[in-house]
Structure 1
Amino acid sequence: MTRAIRNARPLGGHDPIDLLIDDGVIVGITPAGTAPAALDDIDLEGRFIMPGLWDEHVHLTQWAQHRRRIDLSSAESAAEAVAIVRSAIARGEARDSVVVGVGFRDGLWPDAPAAALLDTVASDRPIVLVSADVHCVWLNSAALVHFAVEPSAGADGDGVLREDAAFAITARLDSAPDAELDTWVAEAAAEAAARGVVGVVDLEMRWNRDDWLRRVASGFDALRVEFGVYPQHLDRAIALGMRSGQHLAGTVTVGPLKVITDGSLNTRTAYCCDPYPDAPAEAYGRLNVPPCDLHP
């Protein structure tokens, strides 16, 4: 279908223009008032127009689920995060057997997360809180038992797991059926598109190829998607002949190889030259991959 967008003002430009679009591709840019008639005309009346936005680092399946979980982004302390969880449970917002909250940033909190704090909300129902950087999770005692967390995982009695131990827990929270997840992803993508996002680099920590093939087959086309591959899936990707930039299906292409070399600042695991002020056990952060395993 041919569409004309008229009287648009380019961001940073001066004179308004017309754009002619054919099947989603811009085929002409002319001074305002000069584009030929089209089946679909939209007059922007001088509003600004700009290239579509890309989010270069998103975990789309996680984000789709997080939109349905308890939002902890406003918490300015561990005590405040606990209060948010308690209120959400009281309002009936946490219907699953495992209560999940997301988005806390404890790096500058005056108090520390601890399993005992969450136990005051529920001692017999698992609670898992995921940090905004997704590099740590905070569990209550029931969740430590539910997920069979071993002392060697590094919880150190405070109920907080970091890096690989945290990733293992978040992976087990992705338990919704594929059809339900795909619906949530489509809704999240539509919301992003409504805000001007045209593409994402999806770095979900799972074998993402099959997910996107399934979604495209079901009609997904809200965004362009470049999906990443992690080292644990690299041999599988190579065996399938996958290469970064390769078109997979629909609006989906193969994205980058993602290697998590170190941690995150909020979790105090980003590898730094200077020690963190609160000097945790790993005062300088953590290298997840030895330098000798990295090649330019």
Structure 2
Amino acid sequence: MTAYTDFDVRSFLDLQWVDRFAAYLPQAHEWWNNPLNETTDYGVDPTTIRAMGTGSKEGDPTWGPLAAFNAWAKHQVAELDLSSPATAAHASAKWKRFDIETFDDFETWHRNLAESLDGHWRDWLEKTRAASLHPDTGWQERARACNADGSLCVAHKYKLVDLFVRFLRLLAPAGTSFGAALVRHAHIPLDMKSIAVISATVGNLSVGGGTSMGDIKTELAYQTYQRLARVICDVVAARSDNRSVAVSPIIFDVFAWHNRDAQALYTDFAKEEKKRAAKEQGANEGSKRRRAPRKSKPKWWQTTAPVL
């Protein structure tokens, strides 16, 4: 019997998708560097965050989920001293402690951001409930983004953090290690579009039982997709003719969202995901019907009027 000790995911890569990404690199970098492509305050728009309830009423601009995220993001930008454009010299003097040279440095900072956002979200929930902005605790109506204690689920927590990190490209001063680290080390924000392309590139592999963001239920599932994205980028970089162009997960995300072939793939994935969700819903409803107690027919003496 042969003992398998190594598993090289590169042997499963679909080179057609690898070459598509490699060919799209110039356009991806053009998109990345164009500030007009960012239309949000801090990287997240109302559509992205609509499922993440905070206890406020739907569309509340003051206490809603977007307001909760933006308050946290604004504080983080102030901490980085990136509230206004700065020169590289100013940056190196003012926020040297945030310099990120290695991938491990970035991972530590990224983990701290996630913990900070999680704590902020719980505090925000308590504030909204204490203020009786939604007395019936209606935030539970959209609680699929939250755990029982109000903390964000893995998928939603990291999606917000990763979108915020992507947004920082517009503020990080050019020429600093921090700005360069964003391109090299930033994680790919996971959603159905990015998951679809990762899965297609790695032999149609899926992690967590599905292909939507909500299927990322554990830290391991999140990290697995991140590692797969980095493997893809390493292979693309090795095959690329232009070695001066950065190939990284955050650039891969641009490809997943804007490349024509990737968009067609996402459309197919979305259809399959709808079918899967409908099938699961039907199975759950059928199970409920099977579990429901039978209503026994009344006996004749229970329905027939007594003879006097």
Q: TM-score scaled by structure 2? A: 0.23
Larger-gyration structure (1/2): 2
Q: Which of the pair has the greater relative contact order for Cα pairs under 8 Å at 6+ separation?
A: 2
From the two aligned structures, give the one with the greater strand fraction.
Answer: 1
Q: TM-score scaled by structure 1? A: 0.24
